[in-house]
Amino acid sequence: MAFLRPLLAMLMLMAGLAATTALAGGDLRLRGAISVEGSEITLGDLFDNTGEKAAVPVATAPEPGRNAYLRVNAVRRLLRRHGLTWQGVGALSRIKVKRASQTVPRDEITDVIRVALEEHVDMIDHEFDIVGQQPTLQIAVNADPSVQLENLSVDRVKGRFSVVLTAPADDPTVRLALRGRLYRVTEVPVLGRRVAANDVIREADVDYVRLRTDRVGRNTITDSGDLIGMSSRRSLAPGRAIRRGDVQIPVLVAKGSAVNMTYRQGNLTLNAAGRAMQSGGRDEQITVVNLRSHQTVTAVVTGPGQVTVAAIKRLVLSRPTK
Instruction: Please count the structural domains in the chain.
Output: 4
The CATH number covering residue 286 comes to 2.30.30.760
In a domain, 302, yes or no: yes
CATH number of the domain encompassing residue 200: 3.90.1210.10
Contact 251, 279 (CB under 8 A): yes
Residue 158 DSSP code = T
**Is there a domain that residue 67 lies in?**
yes
Residue 1 lies in a domain: no
- Asked if 168 and 211 sit in the same domain, the reply is no
Q: Which domain holds residue 135?
A: 106-185
Q: Are strands 126-131 and 102-103 parallel, antiparallel or unpaired?
A: unpaired
Question: In this structure, are 231 and 271 located in the same domain?
Answer: no
C-alpha span between 194 and 111 (Å, rounded): 32
279 and 292 belong to one structural domain: yes
**Same domain? 115 vs 177:** yes
Residues 239 and 261 both lie in one domain: no
Q: pLDDT class for 205, splitting at 50, 70, 90?
A: very high
Evaluate whether residue 4 is within a structural domain.
no
Q: State the pLDDT at residue 134.
A: 78
Q: What is the pLDDT of residues 264-301, one digit of tens each?
A: 888 888 899 999 999 998 889 999 999 998 999 999 99
- Residue 7: inside a domain, yes or no? no
Q: Please tell me the predicted confidence (pLDDT) of residue 89.
A: 76
pLDDT at 190 over 90: yes
Measured distance CA(272)–CA(320) in Å, rounded: 9
- 172 & 115 share domain: yes
What are the pLDDT digits (tens) for 6-45?
A: 544 454 444 444 444 434 445 889 998 999 999 999 999 9
Task: Compute the residue count for the chain.
Answer: 322
Q: How far apart are CA 114 and CA 112, in angstroms?
A: 6
> At 105, is the pLDDT very low, low, confident or very high (cuts 50, 70, 90)?
very high
Same domain (yes/no): 94, 115: no
Residue 3, domain member (yes or no): no
